[in-house]
Amino acid sequence: MPVGVCGARLTGRDLKHKMRMRRLLILLTVALAAGAAVLILTYTNSLALDENNCLSCHGSKDLVKTTETGRKISLYVSEERVNTAATVY
Ligand code: HEC
């Protein structure tokens, strides 16, 4: 007959209950770890200054637009200037 933590003799039902509790504990740990991972990921994401990923296009010096009069305007935005700007895009 197996003996529980408190020294009491465990019946078959108690043993099954103990196993279920252990599985629940493992599940809880995994869920907690996953939750923490998601939190950390979203937290580091929110630290990025270029939140809307504008620089994926405007970070390129080749991005220009041509006006109706044929004038070329550079749409390049320096990442350094974005990171030090007062406005958050
Ligand atoms: C997928 C690439 C892409 C992304 C991402 C992008 N842009 Fe643009 N943006 C362009 C292109 C291309 C033009 C030029 C459109 C045109 O020729 O009129 C432009 C034009 C602009 C203009 C107008 C310039 C002008 O005077 O006509 C502004 C302002 C601008 N973008 C700001 C932003 C901001 C702020 C973000 C982030 C929220 C952003 N863009 C994200 C490609 C992008």
**Residue having the nearest C-alpha atom to atom 32 of ligand 1:** 54
Per DSSP, the three-state class of 42 is: helix
- pLDDT, the chain, mean: 82
- The predicted model gives 80-88 an average pLDDT of 80
* Contact yes or no for 56/48 (Cβ under 8 A): no
Is residue 52 within 8 Å of 19, Cβ to Cβ? no
Rounded to 5 degrees, what are φ and ψ at 66?
Answer: -110, 125
Residue 7's alpha-carbon distances to 15, 20, 57, in angstroms, are: 13, 19, 68
Confirm or reject: Cβ of 75 under 6 Å from ligand 1.
yes
Sketch the domain layout of the chain as residue ranges.
Answer: 1-47, 50-89
Q: Is 65 in the pocket of ligand 1 (CB under 6 A)?
A: yes
Residue 70, sorted as left (phi over 0), alpha (psi -120 to 50) or beta, turns out to be left
| 46: confidence class by pLDDT, cuts 50, 70, 90 | very low
Q: With cut-offs at 50, 70 and 90, classify the pLDDT of residue 36.
A: confident
